[in-house]
């Protein structure tokens, strides 16, 4: 299995997760926890594959922060653009009803968003402030920062120990979720602790990093026939579908808020990422098709663009008293998101080319 094939199959999954995020913000909200768990699993799995054989990063907090900034710098300018675009709504409200408290709140939200601190503040006023989806960039910045020391530890572990670490972390997450459930925490608190909190998300990330290290260090390629792998991939998809059914219907204990925002989806997400990385089944080949790869290439930009776009579309629809069918609305959101993402990506490429010419 080549690295190109590995990236292709997993990028196809990234495209599907991105579509689920767009759908969730257009009304199918129960898709979002699965998609975010897949994003974290993909990141954790691919990071060891990309950095396992590279020279280790220097130890220390400063080095970890530099590594994190290097990883997010590609999307950070777009984050600032979308943050400023969303800020116009807040400023409009201040102009209508000016107040010192409102101005201070706006300044606080701006500072929190600039420094990507949204998910470190246990207050719903800040989690989704300005461009709401930027909370994931806040979590990702932390995960990138802990990756260099985490990889150093995982590289010292053999295959058996890596499996034990992954199992222990997952059990710890399940135990924490069980404690939250038994303690009777309200849904807002549980939502923050299991879905948004970077420390809890570090568990998903660590599990996936363990699987990435196992994949990288495996010595033998599986000899299972393609048909068997296709069945395994289908089983992983059905498992994910079953988890979505539990979350959407809030069925049983696993459908409780303490579980349905995270730990419910971790096994199926990690299993699906692993099987698609091997890439021998039908679903893997399907997700490696060019349309999925094209969509995956736009997904990082579309992720940051689409929610602010939805807010402007809602404002426009209210202003002109328009009623749009949900399907038409969703397709319009997706189409405009892809158009804006393509425009930004082309602009970014042109700016890079100019910088490269100036450097030479």
DSSP conformation letters of 167-228: HHHHHHHHHHHHHHHHHT--HHHHHIIIII-HHHHHHHHHHHHHHHHHHHH--S-----HHH
| Arithmetic mean of pLDDT over the chain | 91
Q: What is the average per-residue pLDDT within 14-41? A: 94
Q: Is 130 in a helix, a strand, or coil? A: coil
3: confidence class by pLDDT, cuts 50, 70, 90: very low
56: confidence class by pLDDT, cuts 50, 70, 90: confident
Tell me what pLDDT residue 124 has. Answer: 86
**Burial annotation 20-36 (CB, 10 A radius, 16+ → b, else e):** bbbbbbbeeebbbbbbb
| Residue at token pair 């990234």 | 14
Q: Of all residues in the chain, what percent carry a pLDDT higher than 70?
A: 97
- Distance between the two ends of the chain, CA-based, in angstroms? 37
Per-residue model confidence as pLDDT tens digits over 63-113: 888 999 999 999 999 999 999 999 998 888 888 888 888 889 889 999 999
338's tokens: 């892809």
Largest separation between any pair of C-alpha atoms in the chain: 68
Q: What is the average per-residue pLDDT within 160-171? A: 96
Q: Of all residues in the chain, what percent carry a pLDDT higher than 90?
A: 73
Tell me what pLDDT residue 242 has. Answer: 95
Check if the beta carbon of residue 208 is closer than 8 Å to that of residue 200.
no
46's tokens: 């691919």
Rounded CA separation 44/144 (Å): 9
Tell me what pLDDT residue 92 has. Answer: 84
Given a cut of 90, whether residue 57 has pLDDT beyond it is: no
Tell me what pLDDT residue 222 has. Answer: 63
Rounded CA separation 127/120 (Å): 8
Task: Return the DSSP state at 55.
Answer: P
Q: What is the average per-residue pLDDT within 286-305? A: 94
Q: What is the pTM of this model?
A: 0.92
Given a cut of 90, whether residue 183 has pLDDT beyond it is: yes
Tell me what pLDDT residue 221 has. Answer: 57
């Amino acid at each position: 299995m080549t690295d190109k094939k590995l990236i292709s199959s997993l990028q196809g999954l990234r495209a599907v997760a991105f579509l689920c995020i767009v759908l969730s913000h257009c009304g199918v909200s129960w898709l979002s926890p699965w998609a975010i768990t897949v994003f974290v699993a993909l990141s954790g799995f691919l990071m060891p594959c990309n950095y396992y054989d590279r020279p280790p990063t220097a130890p220390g907090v400063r080095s970890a922060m530099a590594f994190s900034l290097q990883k997010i710098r590609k999307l950070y300018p777009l984050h600032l653009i979308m943050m400023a675009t969303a800020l116009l709504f807040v400023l409009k409200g201040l102009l209508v009803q000016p107040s010192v408290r409102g101005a201070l709140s706006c300044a606080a939200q701006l500072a929190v968003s600039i420094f990507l601190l949204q998910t470190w503040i246990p207050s719903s006023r800040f989690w989704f402030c300005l461009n709401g989806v930027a909370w994931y960039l806040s979590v990702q910045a932390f995960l990138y920062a802990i990756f260099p020391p985490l990889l150093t530890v995982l590289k010292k572990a053999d295959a058996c120990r890596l499996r034990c670490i992954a199992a222990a972390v997952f059990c710890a997450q399940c135990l924490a979720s069980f404690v939250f459930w038994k303690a009777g925490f309200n849904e807002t608190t549980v939502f923050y602790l299991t879905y948004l909190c970077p420390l809890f998300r570090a568990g998903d990330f660590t599990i996936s990093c363990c699987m990435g290290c196992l994949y990288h260090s495996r010595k033998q390629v599986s000899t299972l026939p393609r048909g068997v792998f296709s069945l395994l991939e289908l089983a992983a998809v059905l498992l994910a579908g079953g988890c979505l059914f539990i979350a959407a219907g809030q069925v049983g204990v696993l459908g409780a808020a303490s579980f349905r925002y995270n730990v419910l989806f971790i096994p199926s997400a990690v299993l699906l990422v692993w099987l698609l990385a091997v890439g021998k089944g039908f679903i893997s080949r399907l997700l490696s098709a060019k349309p999925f790869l094209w969509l995956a290439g736009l997904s990082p930009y579309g992720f940051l663009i689409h929610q602010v776009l939805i807010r402007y579309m809602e404002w426009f629809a209210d202003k002109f008293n328009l009623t749009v069918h949900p399907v038409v609305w969703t397709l319009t959101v997706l189409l405009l998101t892809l158009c804006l993402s393509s425009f930004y990506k082309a602009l970014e490429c042109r700016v890079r080319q100019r910088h490269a010419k100036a450097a030479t």
